[in-house]
Amino acid sequence: MPTPLLQPQRRVLLTPEAAKYIARSDSFLEKARCTGEGPPFIKLGSRAVGYLIEDLDRWLESRRRSSTSEPTR
């Protein structure tokens, strides 16, 4: 009998861990959630918020620039 393929585990970081991962503060992520300027997040409960590592990586990649005069995308 063939064994089922295992799905890769999706790692969720809570706000303090996510902030460290992207080298920003917790308050940056809290404000970015209100303005929509930060990485996508997951509402885990009434107060708990999480971030998928792949979303954080994508958000970081979207902020890459070649020069300081390059506009924000």
pLDDT, one tens digit per residue, over 22-35 is 999 999 999 999 99
Does the pLDDT value for residue 65 go beyond 80? yes
- The residues facing 50 across adjacent strands are 14, 42
Reported in sequence order, the residue ranges of 1-73 that DSSP labels E, i.e. its strands, are 12-14, 42-43, 49-52
**pLDDT-derived band at 10, boundaries 50, 70, 90:** confident
The overall pTM is greater than 0.85: no
Does the pLDDT value for residue 48 go beyond 80? yes
- H or E element, residue 51: strand 49-52
Give the per-residue pLDDT at 66: 83
The domain spans of the chain are 12-62
Task: Give the number of other Cβ atoms within 10 Å of residue 26's Cβ.
Answer: 14
Does the pLDDT value for residue 50 go beyond 90? yes
